[in-house]
Structure 1
Amino acid sequence: MILEKGNKVYGIKNDYLYIIIILVITSLVFYLSMVFEYEIYIIFSVVNFLTWHTILEFISVIFAFIIFNNCYYSYKHTKRVRLLLLASTFFIVGSIDFLHTLSYEGMPFTFAQSSVEMATTYWVFARLIMAVGIFISSIIPFYKKSKFNEKSAIILNILLIFIIFHIVTYKIDVLPPLFIQGKGMTSLKIYLEYFIVALQILSIINFIKTYEKTSNTYLIILSSGLILMTFSEGLFTLYRSVYDTFNLLGHVYKVWGVYLIYHSIYKYNIDLPYKKLKEAQGKVSLYADNLEKIVNIRTEEFRKANEKLNKELDYAKVIQQSLLPPEKIIFENVVFNSKYIPCEKLSGDFYDIYEINKNNIAMYILDVTGHGVPAALLTMFSINNVKSNEKIIKRYRGLKPHKNLKNFYEEFNKLNFPEEMHIVTFFATYNKPNKVLTYCSAGMNCYPILIRRTGEYELLDKSRGFPICQLSEFFTPQYESAKVQLQEGDKIIFYTDGLTDVQKNSSIDHKKLLNILVRNSKSSGEKLNNYILKKLENSIKDFDDDITYFIMEIL
């Protein structure tokens, strides 16, 4: 619904039209009954009034117990506190309204002689409990749950009903009077009615606020029922005889209001779930009827997506491997032979060999945690930090491996990499005239192996360092380089742990690698490389970790 005023446009939700219509009709009837009071005011005969009163009250009691039953069994499945509170409220209210009906003046003797005082007291108890219960339910969060046993709640409700029944039926004199014969309602009764009206208005406001957040239409119906109950209480402040027009009209409003409350709760807790279930069954039936077609469509979509992803990974693989040095590099008096075997299209291993100047060669090998795309991206970061394109920086860091790795650690910690990601690397510089290798390890878990021409070997494990990881806030590592003198015929193999990881790759273990190096100590680096590759081909079929190594041979 759209209302226009000047240049502004005001929108009213269609759901509010329902509550507006109820409010207008109820207010109009209430207003007309006040204006034409003398024309319509009647004191009915006891028989006629009791007939209508009993019918209306029994209808109200039936709706109250249906609401109780609905909320009680819904609570058993959902454990929502609001449902338990509403179940208890309407169980008590339905029971007390039943006692109110039996005790109305003019009704036959049941537990005690019926009277106006007894019926009025029952009425006020029921309305107070209902107003308080609904108000509390309006402020309880919708999804708040409880482990309270529903059967225990019923026992407590029955106990409360029995206490009220005993006091009102047999000890009513201990309660202040609410109605005095010949005078009408007392001030206390009227004030209690106003208090009930106030609680119901607050409940309406709370439910409408919840509707604004959730757009739950059934809250509008519930609020409409409370509006009718509010006007009903207003009418019960006006009657002068328990058999007059205002009293009867108040009961009509009450039954109408309870029906709307029942309608909203029934629709939300029973009708709506069944509708959703039916819709879900329809969708399942539709999917079942078209399952093969849907599977074929989805399979084709997955195939295309996978094909696209594989093309992108192939392209990324080309880019990453293009950054690697050639498998064989020859410098003056030193030769490098290498092999790079990723277990996936993208690898977390990387190495590089490059000249710092005419007298010095830099080399490094690194291993990022994991493999695949995340590890490959981290290798790109590593390349830019380990090897600088600036000649001065390249020379300064290259000649001092520990300075290079310390800078690498600091730069890594400036960025917000995941805490579980880390890098281990080994950086070395070879001085060709002096044949001295200066090196530093940053947590490398497999030290390079130096094999002398004589067959003796040693591990390059004399340096000091720490893995590249996110710990700068708690720890400042120390990096120290070490040196080793090389001779003609010496060879060094630099490698990542995938080469000797027999658990992941079923490859050659560290002991076998040493035996291979010792037996081939007099062979060239190229022959040694071919021998290792042959061993790998014989031992590895499927592998779960990247394998990277390069062999440095002094000529």
Structure 2
Amino acid sequence: MGQEISYSNRYWMKVIGAFFFASLPILTIQVFHSSIYFESKIPPYLVFHNIAESFSIIVSMSIFGVGWFTYPQSKDRHTLFLGTAFLGIALIDMMHMLGYSGMPDLFTPNSPNKSTQFWIIVRLFSAISFLTSAFVPNENGLFKQKGLMLFVPILVSTFTFIAVTYFTELLPVTFSPEIGLTFFKRVSEFVIIFVLILALIAYWFRIPKFGWENTKYYIYAFIFCILSELVFAVYTTVFDIYNVLGHIYKIISFFLIYRGVFISSINRPYWKILETNEILSRSLGEKENLIREIYHRSNNTLQVIGSLIVLQSEAYPESPEIRTIVYRLQDRIQAISLVHRLLYSGKDLSSVPIKQYITELSNYALRTNDNSSCQLSIQTEIEDRKLLFDVVIPIGLILSELLNNSIKFAFPKASSGNISIHFYEDQGGRFHLTYSDDGVGMEKEYNFKSCSSLGIQLVQGIAESQLSGNIRFKTGPNFQCEIDFPNNIYKKRV
């Protein structure tokens, strides 16, 4: 409770400070009235007046454009209401500018009374619109009858144009050449000031719900509007310094309202998008770290499993069959573990550089299956690209089996041997993996389909079931295995 009071006091201090700052020009004129006060000649004043009113009209139309055209995305009924209200303000302000004394006649003769009548109507319409907008929520879903909001200001501006232009004698006189500003005009200004004070108070009560940052520009704008109406209530001619200051106050207030509308309908939604993006980025970062940790732990788990299998095999030192099985299991585990290690260390959590993978797998096979009687060399020709780990693991298991067979059986009496691995993608969207060696090869009558070799069975099963590919073997000297499979059997999931 105490914190809310302190915030309220802080906001009051800002409002009082803004009011004091905005009042300084009026106080200065009052103090140094004899030396500062002036009445401008008509031609230069008309230039200033047209520039000031044109700026106000442009800002008003900008507020309408922002509020109206951003509504389908922002769903902000408050800015939509203000935007349509400012369309009416812009139209009547244009009538006031074109009906000013010294300008070409607007259908009927222009006069100070005519332009002032436009002025009183537009200022009263503005004040009532500001007060009403204080009770319109910022966000309340899509408003299907937004055309109704557009109809009201157009109707008011049309009625104002007809009444002031053609039935001005039926309206109260606001300016008389004999007495200047009439009593009705001065009272009207104070009525407008009273409505603006109510609007300021109403917006003050919006702060707890919508925040100071979303409300302050409107409160500051109403302060300048109040002071603008105050100086317009006391000027003696339409060309004096008070009239000039009133238009400057009006420009500032309209700019502040535009700033508030722009923040509500454009800046704030983008801030929300950026905030959402930051949340999503943090969430994605956390998920990436989690997936990397899973890959890391999977790699460690596979290594532990391999070590446990080796420890278990030591209980059968006299069984070469068990030792062979253990070594082959370790090779297959390493083929899978290497994929997880590359995924963990890389930036891509779903793809593995196939060239690096095959190179490291081949080097591992040479190290762990050393044949001291034969010097082996592996040549690779592999496209430098990334493949999904769903594809890389089957390729690794296939190559692990083929490398093991070549190292163990292809060069029984040779002093050296060559192994070649080629991998590429053809223009038809199929991958080709070709493995060959220049060893003894296979008997010409060897039937790969009905063979009893577990390694060959694994190669065929993985190629046909997991890769949906075609596999071909070459019999006779110089063993060769060629596999082709589609490039779209798996989809990226991470």
Normalising to structure 1: TM-score of the pair? 0.49
Would the aligned equivalents of 2:71 and 2:265 in 1 still touch at CA under 8 Å?
no
Written as runs of structure 1 = structure 2, the 5 A alignment for 1:366-405 is none
Is 1:262 the counterpart of 2:258 in the alignment?
yes
Report the alpha carbon displacement of residue 170 of structure 1 after superposing the two structures with TM.
Answer: 1.6
Report the alpha carbon displacement of residue 117 of structure 1 after superposing the two structures with TM.
Answer: 1.0
Report the alpha carbon displacement of residue 246 of structure 1 after superposing the two structures with TM.
Answer: 0.4
Is 1:124 the counterpart of 2:103 in the alignment?
no
In structure 2, do the counterparts of structure 1 residues 76 and 238 end up closer, same or farther at CA, with 3 Å as the change threshold? Answer: same
Report the alpha carbon displacement of residue 250 of structure 1 after superposing the two structures with TM.
Answer: 0.4
Is 1:245 the counterpart of 2:241 in the alignment?
yes
Question: In structure 2, how many angstroms separate the alpha carbons of the residues matched to 1:298 and 1:87?
Answer: 54
Question: In structure 2, how many angstroms separate the alpha carbons of the residues matched to 1:85 and 1:195?
Answer: 23
In structure 2, do the counterparts of structure 1 residues 273 and 80 end up closer, same or farther at CA, with 3 Å as the change threshold? Answer: closer
Return the match for 1:82 from 64, 78, 81: 78
**Secondary structure of 1:89's match?**
helix
**Secondary structure of 1:104's match?**
coil
Q: 1:398 maps to what in 2?
A: none
Would the aligned equivalents of 1:112 and 1:169 in 2 still touch at CA under 8 Å?
yes
Deviations 1:104-140, CA, capped at 9 Å, x for gaps: 1111234333211111011111100110011011134
**Secondary structure of 1:109's match?**
coil
Written as runs of structure 1 = structure 2, the 5 A alignment for 1:140-179 is 140-144=136-140, 147-179=143-175
Deviations 1:402-447, CA, capped at 9 Å, x for gaps: xxxxxxxxxxxxxxxxxxxxxxxxxxxxxxxxxxxxxxxxxxxxxx
Question: In structure 2, how many angstroms separate the alpha carbons of the residues matched to 1:188 and 1:144?
Answer: 40
Is 1:271 the counterpart of 2:267 in the alignment?
yes
In structure 2, do the counterparts of structure 1 residues 29 and 68 end up closer, same or farther at CA, with 3 Å as the change threshold? Answer: same
Return the match for 1:226 from 202, 214, 222: 222
Question: In structure 2, how many angstroms separate the alpha carbons of the residues matched to 1:204 and 1:30?
Answer: 20
Q: 1:198 maps to what in 2?
A: 194
- Structure 1, 167-176 or 13-22: larger mean CA deviation: 13-22
Would the aligned equivalents of 2:79 and 2:261 in 1 still touch at CA under 8 Å?
no
In structure 2, do the counterparts of structure 1 residues 257 and 298 end up closer, same or farther at CA, with 3 Å as the change threshold? Answer: farther
Deviations 1:448-486, CA, capped at 9 Å, x for gaps: xxxxxxxxxxxxxxxxxxxxxxxxxxxxxxxxxxxxxxx
Question: In structure 2, how many angstroms separate the alpha carbons of the residues matched to 1:17 and 1:299?
Answer: 58
Would the aligned equivalents of 1:103 and 1:115 in 2 still touch at CA under 8 Å?
yes
Question: In structure 1, how many angstroms separate the alpha carbons of the residues matched to 2:269 and 2:294?
Answer: 30
Would the aligned equivalents of 1:128 and 1:196 in 2 still touch at CA under 8 Å?
yes
Percentage of pairs with the same residue: 27
In structure 2, do the counterparts of structure 1 residues 293 and 130 end up closer, same or farther at CA, with 3 Å as the change threshold? Answer: same
Return the match for 1:98 from 82, 91, 94: 94
Return the match for 1:47 from 40, 43, 57: 43
**Secondary structure of 1:217's match?**
coil
Question: In structure 2, how many angstroms separate the alpha carbons of the residues matched to 1:221 and 1:45?
Answer: 35
Written as runs of structure 1 = structure 2, the 5 A alignment for 1:282-431 is 282-294=278-290
Is 1:27 the counterpart of 2:23 in the alignment?
yes
Question: In structure 2, how many angstroms separate the alpha carbons of the residues matched to 1:181 and 1:298?
Answer: 88
Report the alpha carbon displacement of residue 235 of structure 1 after superposing the two structures with TM.
Answer: 0.2
In structure 2, do the counterparts of structure 1 residues 295 and 221 end up closer, same or farther at CA, with 3 Å as the change threshold? Answer: farther
Report the alpha carbon displacement of residue 245 of structure 1 after superposing the two structures with TM.
Answer: 0.5
> Which one-letter code corresponds to 2:24 in the other structure?
L
More helix by share: 2
Would the aligned equivalents of 1:43 and 1:243 in 2 still touch at CA under 8 Å?
yes
Question: In structure 2, how many angstroms separate the alpha carbons of the residues matched to 1:284 and 1:44?
Answer: 60
Would the aligned equivalents of 1:96 and 1:126 in 2 still touch at CA under 8 Å?
yes
Q: 1:536 maps to what in 2?
A: none
Question: In structure 2, how many angstroms separate the alpha carbons of the residues matched to 1:26 and 1:110?
Answer: 34
In structure 2, do the counterparts of structure 1 residues 147 and 115 end up closer, same or farther at CA, with 3 Å as the change threshold? Answer: same
Question: In structure 2, how many angstroms separate the alpha carbons of the residues matched to 1:251 and 1:161?
Answer: 21
Report the alpha carbon displacement of residue 182 of structure 1 after superposing the two structures with TM.
Answer: 2.7
Normalising to structure 2: TM-score of the pair? 0.55
Unaligned runs of 5+ in 1: 1-8, 301-555
Q: 1:448 maps to what in 2?
A: none
Deviations 1:286-339, CA, capped at 9 Å, x for gaps: 444553214577999xxxxxxxxxxxxxxxxxxxxxxxxxxxxxxxxxxxxxxx
Deviations 1:360-408, CA, capped at 9 Å, x for gaps: xxxxxxxxxxxxxxxxxxxxxxxxxxxxxxxxxxxxxxxxxxxxxxxxx
Return the match for 1:207 from 190, 203, 212: 203
Unaligned runs of 5+ in 2: 297-494
Question: In structure 1, how many angstroms separate the alpha carbons of the residues matched to 2:77 and 2:8?
Answer: 32
RMSD over aligned Cα atoms: 2.8
Q: 2:489 maps to what in 1?
A: none
